[in-house]
Amino acid sequence: MDKASKWLVVTEKPSVAGDLAKALGGFEKKGDHYESPKYYITWAVGHLLELLEPEELDPKYKRWLLQDLPILPQEFQYKPKKGQTERLNHIKSLAKKSDVTGIINACDAGREGELIFREIYDYCGINKTFKRIWLQSMTPEAIRKEFQTLKSGHDYDNLGDAARCRAESDWLIGMNATRAVTKRLKTRNTKGVWSVGRVQTPTLALIAKRELDYLKHRPEPYFNLEGRFSTPTHEYSGLWYDPKFKKPQAADDDESIISREKEDRIFSQQKLDEILKNFNDNKSQAKASETRKESKEIAPQLFDLTLLQREANRKFGMPASRTLQAAQRLYEKHKLLTYPRTDSRYLPEDYVENVKNILKEYSAIPTEYSKACQKILKHGMLNKDRVFNNKHVSDHFAIIPTGQFPSEKLDGDDARIFDLVLKRFIAAFMPHAIWAKVERITFVGEQNFRTRVQDLQEPGWREVYGLDSEEESKLPKLNEKNPDALTPVQTEGVDPIQNATKPPPRYTEAKLLSLMEHCGKSVVDEEIAEVLKDKGIGTPATRADIIENLISKEYVSRYGKALRATSKGIRLVDVLSRIPIDILSKVDLTGEIEAGLRKMEKGQEKRSEFMQNMFDFTSTIVDKARSFEYDAIYKNDPPLGSCPVCKIGKVNEGFWGYKCSRAGNSKEVTPDQCSFIIWKEKNQRYIDRSVVEEVLQKQIVGPFEFSNSTGTSHYDEFLTISPQKGIIFCTEKGEAKESATGYDAVVLHEELLSETFLKMPGTVKVTEMAYLCEFGNLPTEAPEEINKPKRKSKKASSEDTEKKKKVTKPKKVKRLISRMPRILCGREMSLDDYKSFILTGSTPPISDFKSKKGRPFAAALHLKENGNFEFKFVSRKALLGEDTSENKPKKTAKKATSKAKVVKKSKKADSLSETEV
């Protein structure tokens, strides 16, 4: 290498650039790059470029017209992502330097890392040699070793082709399918886009199927039977079960069948009576036996992002997006965690010493974690084969703590996530937990009653979570001398317990993330199932965004901690299956594309062949969406019943509802037509076929679950038929109700505040929907002497004006009420938030609000004198501790003037009322 020449190293993120500079040594940081006698090192921030939208390729695509589809670009073009032009220009200026002889791609070791580099290389018009460094460990030794064995960038051309094809195929499917479906489904009364995507639509289909299973469920009563028994030393109870029970095999994973049948359920009164008779006839001859087994609970693996999101959702109810935001802050701002957007649960094999050093750091200062760390260092790290494995380290290794302590006290989400990761890191190297599992079977005649308990014998890794061994067993031994013997026991009684079947639960985000990660299990094709087995659909970095996108598109809504498909989401999945282009709602599509990409990476398939297949597939999708007829896609469905209005026609299903077969296609109803229709949505509930069939047959049905729009309140209602409105709420006797049961009026909590920001006492009330504060009496008209003077004639003297000012009028009073929704701009507000708002006049700045378009924004809420609130917007970057302005170069005078105009226009937007937002 020429002494005067240098290589430009491009990394995917700033932290990696810093690690490389530190490992190689001899660098000086100069603004947005590092420099040494041999290298420049600079960085991207993830993807700096994105594909052009259709209307940017050709203005004619601004109007969404079916005749313009499919859109099949012969060349895909890129543009800088918002805010990334300066970064691109900086990389370009370094690459064009005369002393730079070549470029080193040090982006992440994977398909997306390859794409990030090649996008930059091509867009900036760099025409210099490029090399590849493939880093799977970030220790200084591993970095230095890789720099000694640089590979040609062209060795990874197949990987680069696969990366481009993945991005371009997603563009083709998303842009064309979304436009085609939107044009066919959108009406004058519906707003918004019917968005379709390779990953988001199969994810929606999972939620929609579970929602339909939930809605179709009808509670069915059953009995459990609890027997009460005693020995000379203790009493215990056992639950009746049928030892001959066999779990039913449900076709097409029908969980309603699987969840109904259980070995301990008795569905008929006759069978219950037979069991009770047999029990009573033989209760004097009861005997029991038990087994006691030791069971190991293996120490948990380290977190990847998906597993961390699932655990945070399970433990704290945190949405996946909030978990990612907290982990990102802990990585970027606090420097307490390693890179969070990873799909690996392992560490590189050369990281053993790094781990020891991290444990030493946390053992040195007395904290709740230090004792466990000291034990590991003293007795050695266990479970190394479940932690260190190069084969399972992908672009990034598992999320672990860095060994640093917080420079400031963590609170909220940041504290919770740091605690989860640190405890999991420590637990991974500790002994297994040992449980003593006891199963006791009590025999009374032909009946069997089972008792199960488990005692923690050795806490092992569970010690980190505050669990200790139990001194006494929850169930003393049945027979001390002869544990295996059948031992007589005394029967004390038997109690039938009446229950009812429950629907399969709606998916929580934790469960959905798991399904997305392991969706290959539901695929029939073995090759596709194998491809999906490791990766699933989406990536750890995108799954949270996919869920949030489904919510912002109004396909899915949050329902407490669960997710439910909306009527819009269910209708989309339904119509795609009927057109039929249901491949868009199946994970098989991802499997097929991924299989092709893997072949391309191995050189077994050409980029041109793959893209031609994608062009053909896209054209087929568009043709089917363009040509289907609404009446035809429902023609094979049987009628749901006779029309209750005209008594002649049959009620058939359509896209928007269930209507009489004698209905016309226009708004005007002729004498030979019928206008009866039941819409598919009522009070945020999708009205499925089973409800319509029941109400047509029985006239009064229910109760069914309904809810408010935010899912914070739900209630049960009966339904009946209305000739004019289809179905309406009614009483159990069928008497019509004007509206659903109101839950806003139910006060769940009440608290008196003696002093508030408005200088008067207030009573804070919590309802299902909102937080309220009723303040003390407040004048509706202030005394005239402090009011603004009324407009006076020019002839009026100053003396007259003074007299007018001093005249006071009697005060009228009214009660002032402040109200704040419990779900505000996509964020769940806490009672502490609201009390701070009432006591101090504002909340602290909050960073995770979402606009109507799903965009995040940061703001504090300020209390106005009339009790309403307004948003005071703040920079999200400033809130996250990022540098926003001081180090940026000044603009030219002309641009500064333009900027000032923008600021002037947006000043008003710095403070908006709740009605405007």
The pLDDT of residue 375 is above 50:
yes
Q: Judge whether 803 lies within some domain.
A: no
**Spatial separation of the C-alpha atoms in residues 589 and 199, rounded to whole Å:** 9
Local confidence band at 89 (pLDDT 50, 70, 90 cut-offs): very high
The pLDDT of residue 888 is above 70:
no
Three-state DSSP state, 18: helix
pTM recorded for the entire structure: 0.77
Best-predicted range by mean pLDDT (226-230, 746-750, 776-780): 226-230
- β-strand 856-863 against 869-874: which pairing, if any? antiparallel
- β-strand 6-11 against 39-43: which pairing, if any? parallel
What is the predicted pLDDT for the residue at 669?
A: 66
CA neighbor of 525 nearest in space, from 595, 447, 617: 595
Q: Are residues 392 and 318 in the same domain?
A: yes
Tens-place pLDDT, residues 551-589: 999 999 988 889 999 999 999 999 999 999 999 999 999
Q: Are residues 354 and 313 in the same domain?
A: yes
Q: Which of 62-66, 111-115, 293-297, 464-468 has the lowest mean pLDDT?
A: 464-468
The pLDDT of residue 277 is above 80:
yes
What is the predicted pLDDT for the residue at 384?
A: 93
Question: What average pLDDT does range 715-742 have in this prediction?
Answer: 77
Q: DSSP character for 300?
A: P
Asked whether 314 and 561 are in contact (CB, 8 A), the reply is no
Q: Judge whether 915 lies within some domain.
A: no
Q: Which of 99-113, 219-233, 303-317, 880-894 has the lowest mean pLDDT?
A: 880-894
What is the predicted pLDDT for the residue at 770?
A: 79
What is the predicted pLDDT for the residue at 187?
A: 80
457: which 2 tokens? 């014998």
Q: DSSP character for 70?
A: -
User: Cβ contacts of residue 142 below 8 Å, gap of 6+?
Assistant: 135, 136, 348, 350
How far is CA 14 from each of CA 33, 45, 139, 399, rounded to the nearest angstrom? 9, 7, 16, 18
CA neighbor of 333 nearest in space, from 870, 879, 917, 734: 879
Q: Judge whether 57 lies within some domain.
A: yes
Higher pLDDT: 659 or 137? It is: 659
User: Cβ contacts of residue 176 below 8 Å, gap of 6+?
Assistant: 69, 70, 71, 618, 621, 622
C-alpha Rg value of the chain to the nearest Å: 34
DSSP assignment of 109-137: SSHHHHHHHHHHHHHTT--SEEEE---S-
Q: DSSP character for 562?
A: E
Q: Are residues 686 and 664 in the same domain?
A: yes
Local confidence band at 743 (pLDDT 50, 70, 90 cut-offs): very low
Catalytic residue among 156, 339, 658, 771: 339
Higher pLDDT: 243 or 907? It is: 243
Q: Is 382 exposed, middle or buried (0-12, 13-18, 19+ CB in 10 A)?
A: middle
Torsion angle defined by CA atoms of residues 654, 656, 659 and 662, in that order, rounded to the nearest 10 degrees = -70
User: Cβ contacts of residue 631 below 8 Å, gap of 6+?
Assistant: 654
CATH number where 345 lies: 1.10.290.10
Please list the alpha-helical segments (H only) found in 186-304: 200-216, 255-260, 269-282
Tens-place pLDDT, residues 151-166: 999 999 999 999 999 9
What is the predicted pLDDT for the residue at 792?
A: 43
User: Cβ contacts of residue 256 below 8 Å, gap of 6+?
Assistant: 213, 216, 217, 250, 503, 504
The pLDDT of residue 239 is above 80:
yes
Three-state DSSP state, 93: helix
The 3-state secondary structure of 811-842 reads CCEEEEEEEEECEECCEECCHHHHHHHHHHCE
339 classed as catalytic: yes
Partners of 79 in the β-ladder: 50
Q: Which sign, positive or negative, has the C-alpha torsion 884, 886, 888, 894?
A: positive
Asked whether 536 and 517 are in contact (CB, 8 A), the reply is yes
Q: Are residues 134 and 227 in the same domain?
A: no
How many CB atoms sit inside 10 A of residue 4's CB? 9
CATH number where 477 lies: 2.70.20.10
Local confidence band at 881 (pLDDT 50, 70, 90 cut-offs): low
User: Cβ contacts of residue 300 below 8 Å, gap of 6+?
Assistant: 424, 427, 428, 461
Three-state DSSP state, 798: helix
User: Cβ contacts of residue 671 below 8 Å, gap of 6+?
Assistant: none
Please list the alpha-helical segments (H only) found in 507-642: 509-517, 526-535, 543-552, 567-578, 588-601, 607-627, 630-633
Q: Which of 169-178, 188-197, 246-255, 269-278 has the lowest mean pLDDT?
A: 246-255
Asked whether 321 and 328 are in contact (CB, 8 A), the reply is no
Q: Which of 69-83, 666-680, 881-895 has the lowest mean pLDDT?
A: 881-895
Task: Read off φ and ψ for residue 645, nearest 5 degrees.
Answer: -100, -60
CATH number where 145 lies: 3.40.50.140
CA neighbor of 303 nearest in space, from 379, 441, 396: 396
Scanning the structure block, which residue is given the tokens 């399969």? 504
**Spatial separation of the C-alpha atoms in residues 576 and 180, rounded to whole Å:** 12
User: Cβ contacts of residue 237 below 8 Å, gap of 6+?
Assistant: 226, 227, 228, 229, 451
Residue-range definition of the domain harbouring residue 413? 305-431
Give the residue from 386, 409, 431 where a domain finishes: 431
Asked whether 567 and 556 are in contact (CB, 8 A), the reply is no
Tens-place pLDDT, residues 897-907: 333 333 333 33
Asked whether 702 and 727 are in contact (CB, 8 A), the reply is no
Q: DSSP character for 486?
A: -
874: which 2 tokens? 């703040």
Scanning the structure block, which residue is given the tokens 């991974």? 428
**Spatial separation of the C-alpha atoms in residues 321 and 313, rounded to whole Å:** 10
Q: Are residues 40 and 122 in the same domain?
A: yes
Calculate the average pLDDT of the chain: 85
Local confidence band at 535 (pLDDT 50, 70, 90 cut-offs): confident
Local confidence band at 3 (pLDDT 50, 70, 90 cut-offs): low
Question: What average pLDDT does range 414-435 have in this prediction?
Answer: 95
The pLDDT of residue 788 is above 60:
no
Best-predicted range by mean pLDDT (137-141, 213-217, 251-255, 756-760): 213-217
Best-predicted range by mean pLDDT (206-215, 260-269, 701-710): 206-215
Q: Are residues 617 and 564 in the same domain?
A: yes
Partners of 716 in the β-ladder: 705
**Spatial separation of the C-alpha atoms in residues 555 and 201, rounded to whole Å:** 10
Partners of 288 in the β-ladder: 442, 487
Please list the alpha-helical segments (H only) found in 343-389: 352-364, 370-379
Question: Which string of b and e fits 791-819 if b means at least 16 CB within 10 Å?
Answer: eeeeeeeeeeeeeeeeeeeeeeeeebebb
What is the predicted pLDDT for the residue at 105?
A: 97
**Spatial separation of the C-alpha atoms in residues 641 and 649, rounded to whole Å:** 9
Q: Are residues 489 and 587 in the same domain?
A: no
**Spatial separation of the C-alpha atoms in residues 119 and 126, rounded to whole Å:** 11
Q: Which sign, positive or negative, has the C-alpha torsion 848, 853, 859, 863?
A: negative
Q: Judge whether 899 lies within some domain.
A: no
**Spatial separation of the C-alpha atoms in residues 829 and 644, rounded to whole Å:** 46
Asked whether 133 and 147 are in contact (CB, 8 A), the reply is yes
What is the predicted pLDDT for the residue at 363?
A: 92
What is the predicted pLDDT for the residue at 133?
A: 94
Q: Are residues 104 and 12 in the same domain?
A: yes
Q: Are residues 10 and 139 in the same domain?
A: yes
Q: Which of 139-153, 252-266, 471-485, 585-599 has the lowest mean pLDDT?
A: 252-266
Question: What average pLDDT does range 527-543 have in this prediction?
Answer: 83
**Which H/E stretch holds residue 558?**
strand 556-559
Question: What average pLDDT does range 650-677 have in this prediction?
Answer: 84
Task: Read off φ and ψ for residue 884, nearest 5 degrees.
Answer: -110, -25
What is the predicted pLDDT for the residue at 334?
A: 87
Question: What average pLDDT does range 654-673 have in this prediction?
Answer: 80
**Spatial separation of the C-alpha atoms in residues 246 and 703, rounded to whole Å:** 32
Asked whether 818 and 867 are in contact (CB, 8 A), the reply is yes
Local confidence band at 64 (pLDDT 50, 70, 90 cut-offs): very high
Q: Are residues 268 and 312 in the same domain?
A: no
> Structural domain tally of the chain?
6
What is the predicted pLDDT for the residue at 254?
A: 52
Scanning the structure block, which residue is given the tokens 């969406």? 625
Local confidence band at 211 (pLDDT 50, 70, 90 cut-offs): very high
Tens-place pLDDT, residues 179-194: 999 999 988 777 789 9
Question: What average pLDDT does range 905-912 have in this prediction?
Answer: 37
Question: What average pLDDT does range 221-242 have in this prediction?
Answer: 95
Q: Are residues 173 and 285 in the same domain?
A: no
Q: Judge whether 480 lies within some domain.
A: yes
Q: Judge whether 907 lies within some domain.
A: no
Per the document, the length of the chain is 917
Question: Which string of b and e fits 310-338 if b means at least 16 CB within 10 Å?
Answer: bbbbeeeebbbbbbbbbbbbbbbebebbb
Q: DSSP character for 105?
A: E
Q: DSSP character for 864?
A: -
Q: Are residues 572 and 425 in the same domain?
A: no
CA neighbor of 409 nearest in space, from 372, 374, 367: 367
Q: At what angle do helices 607-627 and 588-601 cross, to 10 degrees?
A: 160
Q: DSSP character for 156?
A: G
What is the predicted pLDDT for the residue at 164?
A: 97
Local confidence band at 213 (pLDDT 50, 70, 90 cut-offs): very high
Question: What average pLDDT does range 529-546 have in this prediction?
Answer: 85
Asked whether 755 and 795 are in contact (CB, 8 A), the reply is no
Q: Judge whether 897 lies within some domain.
A: no
Local confidence band at 130 (pLDDT 50, 70, 90 cut-offs): very high
Best-predicted range by mean pLDDT (343-357, 668-682, 748-762, 838-852): 343-357
Three-state DSSP state, 541: coil
Question: Which string of b and e fits 887-903 if b means at least 16 CB within 10 Å?
Answer: eeeeeeeeeeeeeeeee
Q: Judge whether 634 lies within some domain.
A: no
Question: What average pLDDT does range 653-666 have in this prediction?
Answer: 85
